[in-house]
Chain A
């Protein structure tokens, strides 16, 4: 290559070595710039991209009259960037401590700790990896906006806050099971908070930007800013007043009977709108972490009980609806055995001895044998079909979810006694809400509605963005049958098992129910589910009300529905009549025609 003082070979060797090195560098550059680029860019993107999330405000949950049940309060998490602190600001630290209501020594210690960490990091900056620089020291968790403004007014460089929201339930325990709660991580766990999260949560905004190696934002490279979109407000059909009334009643029941659980539901039969729903035991969503698991359960939808005699509306309604009987059709309720489909079937026991009873009396006095004979009259399949139509054994499609379906076996799985036992509400299990809505169908001219709990959705400016119309599920009974059954049910209150619940002049229709509890697969005769489910006024129903008390402890007696639930029903009904200003109804003559005429 070269001729000079060195030998050509040696010169050539050195020259080619140097050139080879340069060539390798060039090759390597092609790799870095082009070939490995895509793989490496991922790291670049990760290191540089910065997303600052701006939290959306979660929507408010209101009752039907605009009372706030759940809302989000904004607050500030206050802290400091130790690297930004200045010596000349140190005299202001004590003022800061005073504003935050913290001991000055604690504030000083926190800020100093951050500073030492940071200085240490700077001292070893020669090895950038070791330099985990401390850029945030939290001073206090929650500062009110007004206090934060005053902290900012102090002008301490490096002290700043991050806004966030906290979920609060101003009414405390009120409607806790309907509202559910949002946990500390901001995840909605149950109730409306969970199932309506889509409406409530809103959309977090963000600022897309770049940061430098020390994680400081480079504002000149901000590429996108999306403002947070606050969540929608949800208006429930709940009425806080009704809710208060039933929760107070639950407290009374709890104090008196200390039940396993108790559920009270109030709804408008014409729309299916739930006006109040409460369970005992309950909890305060503000302190959900102190509640027991039992208290967190919404028993109204997630627990099942045997409905007992309240279920007799199925057999009676079905028989009347098919025209198999009239209210006057007589049955011998003194029989203990009856031949059905070629086999003798033992009939269940009665609470009191009955002789010949009309259908109307069977309902009024809650005859178990009468109900069994009504069911036998139509056969298993028809009876089963009606039970299904009433909504048993299937979801009510409760909008807040969390429901269980209850148990209603098809006839194929029945044993020989089921046809005699199911009509009295045994061998079947239902949620309190299912029982309530079965009765509600009777009150609503035979139409079974879907429970309604959401009235409307409003956006953050208050404009209504979505409303919910009543949703009919099935027509269980003909309207005329339903009206007839309603009249029969008033006799439960006027002269039957539910006399305790009578409110003169208000045509209360209802049905008591008492079942022995199944404990370890056996019915025990000292533990009961007591219920009273009814509506009023019977001729033009406005409210359906259920009181279901599981395992009430009644001293020296049995926890029958008429003992435990009917008085509570009456107590609530009286308050509701007053609150809704429901006018008394004079007994109307046409109804008696219906009574006497039977089903068309």
Chain B
């Protein structure tokens, strides 16, 4: 790590900071991801190189974006948070308009030209975190109020969630809504407002699912995978078989068979299953451990946040990574009903990789910017900021 320009503590060349741990974990995930992606896409249309190159290009873009975010001044950027959120909302609306949004398999999620496509909701998630953190930090002394502390931010979150839901993208909508609620919860919104509204949102969500036969079938078949292995739960069943085929040691990189027309989306949402088959239990556990490490390191890191805005921003970024990972892992291992959600750093897919670049960039940024508190001063400094 380079020392930050505004370092309070003397520059140390070799130091293990939480952010550096996160960076190492992310690098490890990317390395594993690229290797498995090459194998998982070997039988996909276009061949493995096409996916590898595409992924490498987006990795480059993500690194660039992350580097830029890491160098920027977050407090300066904060001024643009409403603008960002506005653009994101606009994009979310645009994507719903026929002929502008690109439809794939019945969902209108992409904006783009030619082969370059971006999944709008990925960036909307960041914009939401950004703007929500900004708002909650601005209003931190009034968060116990009903309107300021609950109605407005909840509506803001709800707006994003509903627009994403309309694509339709139930998974991302749930993630976005859930993340918003967690941030509200952490910022100190009152539970007596929060809990009923979560209940209402979940009820509404359930009703929507029940009224969509396709989603409903996914849920019912998820509940009995083996019985539905021929129809509704085919994909999940093939994923489960992939893990079994892998065993503890795996069959070896490049030796997996489930990508051979058995497992749909083997290189994107279900890539973890291919990882499980080719590399086995130790590597799947390693991936989980890496995400846990990122999360724990993130928690340690966020303790040093200088203000509520940055605290919520970094926590939000961290949760975006980890919740998405949890949902993907849960889906692929058959603990959650199937929904399209890519595995951070590993699944093929440019938009998500780009988003991850931005998220990591933000964490690096804060690591550079935040003063390294002196051990003796730490307690006081924290009580100061927490008030």
Seen from chain A, the residues whose Cβ lies within 8 Å of a Cβ on chain B are: 1-7, 10-11, 14-15, 18-19, 21-22, 24-26, 28-30, 32-34, 36-37, 39-41, 43-44, 47-48, 126-130, 210, 212-214, 216, 218, 221
Contacts and interface: CB of A to CB of B under 8 A. Distances in A.
B260 A218 contact: yes
Interface string B291-307: 11001100110110101
Contacts of A214: 261
Interface stretch (B77-85, B95-103, B166-174, B323-331): B323-331
A345 B110 CA distance: 112
Nearest to B189: A10
B308 interface: yes
Given A11-B186, A25-B330, A4 B303 contact: yes
24 contacts: A2-B299, A4-B302, A4-B303, A5-B187, A6-B188, A10-B185, A11-B299, A14-B185, A18-B295, A21-B326, A26-B285, A29-B276, A29-B284, A30-B281, A32-B243, A32-B244, A33-B246, A36-B244, A43-B229, A43-B241, A126-B106, A128-B235, A213-B260, A213-B261
Given A18-B322, A36-B244, A130-B231, A2 B303 contact: yes
B62 to A, nearest CB: 23
Nearest to A33: B281
Interface string B212-254: 0000000000000000011110110110110111111000000
Interface of B: 43, 105-106, 140, 182, 185-188, 229-232, 234-235, 237-238, 240-241, 243-248, 257, 260-264, 276, 280-281, 284-285, 288-289, 291-292, 295-296, 299-300, 302-303, 305, 307-308, 311-312, 315, 319, 322-323, 326, 329-330, 333-335, 382, 385-386
Given A4-B311, A26-B288, 11 more contacts: A2-B300, A3-B303, A11-B186, A18-B295, A18-B322, A19-B295, A29-B276, A32-B244, A32-B333, A33-B243, A33-B280
A45 to B, nearest CB: 9
Nearest to A128: B234
Contacts of A10: 185-186, 188
A24 B285 CA distance: 11
A99 B220 CA distance: 53
Contact of B276 (A7, A33, A210, A218): A33
Contacts of A30: 281, 285
A6 B264 contact: no
A212 B43 contact: yes
Contact of B244 (A21, A25, A40, A213): A40
Contact of B247 (A2, A34, A127): A34
B288 A14 contact: no
Given A29-B281, A213-B260, A44 B186 contact: no
A25 B285 CA distance: 9
A37 B244 contact: yes
Contacts of B311: 4-6
B288 A1 contact: no
B121 to A, nearest CB: 20
- Sorted nearest first, the 6 A-B pairs with minimum C-beta distance are A213-B261, A40-B244, A212-B260, A129-B231, A32-B243, A213-B262
Nearest to A221: B257
Which of A6, A39, A128: most chain B Cβ within 10 A? Answer: A6
Contact of A5 (B295, B300, B308): B308
A6 B307 CA distance: 11
B285 A5 contact: no
Contacts of B241: 40, 43-44, 47
Contacts of B237: 43
A41 B244 contact: yes
A130 B333 CA distance: 23
Given A128-B234, A213-B260, A7 B299 contact: no
B319 to A, nearest CB: 7
A373 to B, nearest CB: 83
Most chain B CB inside 10 Å of its own CB: which residue of A19, A29, A214? A29
Contacts of A18: 295, 319, 322-323, 326
A20 to B, nearest CB: 10
B371 to A, nearest CB: 14
A34 B245 CA distance: 10
A3 B383 CA distance: 9
Contacts of B140: 5
B257 A212 contact: yes
Contacts of A34: 247-248, 281
Contacts of B323: 18
* Most interface-central of A40, A126, A221 (chain B CB within 10 A): A40
Nearest to A28: B333
Which of A15, A32, A129, A212 neighbours the largest number of chain B CB atoms within 10 Å of its CB? A32
A4 B386 contact: yes
Residue among B187, B244, B248 having the largest count of chain A Cβ atoms under 10 Å: B244
B231 A5 contact: no
Contacts of B385: 5
Nearest to B329: A25
A4 B385 CA distance: 8
Given A14-B185, A32-B240, A5 B333 contact: no
Contacts of B289: 26
A127 B307 CA distance: 49
B260 A1 contact: no
A29 B285 contact: yes
A446 B188 CA distance: 116
B333 A25 contact: yes
A25 B247 contact: no
Nearest to B262: A213
Contacts of B281: 29-30, 33-34
Nearest to B264: A128
A126 B231 CA distance: 11
A129 B234 contact: yes
A33 B330 contact: no
